[in-house]
Amino acid sequence: DGGITQSPKYLFRKEGQNVTLSCEQNLNHDAMYWYRQDPGQGLRLIYYSQIVNDFQKGDIAEGYSVSREKKESFPLTVTSAQKNPTAFYLCASEQGMAGNTIYFGEGSWLTVV
């Protein structure tokens, strides 16, 4: 089945460590997104990419980095510079920026211990 796969589902990080969240899609979508969701709150955009080898900062990019070397993959690295990284992270994709439906992965929980 086509869809978006995020891994791992649960991840624990020690303070000062970088961690990378994986996001893979087989929908042949051009656009991909990373959102952060804190308990009881809405979605905040971290980074997005419209095409391979290109990405733009969203509203809360500080302390995060991404790459888009392949169309199907858009990994997110949470760096030690992110002061409050504990959250639920959602990856999503869309046919293009002119598309009209966003498809989401199942999400990844990151907890700092």
Partner 1 sequence: AQSVTQLDSQVPVFEEAPVELRCNYSSSVSVYLFWYVQYPNQGLQLLLKYLSGSTLVKGINGFEAEFNKSQTSFHLRKPSVHISDTAEYFCAVKATNAGKSTFGDGTTLTVKP
Using CB under 8 A, list all residues that contact partner 1.
4, 33, 40-43, 45, 48, 58, 90, 92, 96-98, 100-102, 104-107, 109
- 79 vs 102, which CB is nearer to partner 1? 102
Which residue in 81, 89, 78, 65 sits closest to 18, CA to CA?
Answer: 78
**Distance in angstroms (rounded) separating the CA atoms of residues 51 and 69:** 9
The minimum distance between CB 16 and partner 1, in angstroms, equals 27
The minimum distance between CB 98 and partner 1, in angstroms, equals 4
Structure tokens belonging to residue 103: 């498809």
The minimum distance between CB 37 and partner 1, in angstroms, equals 9
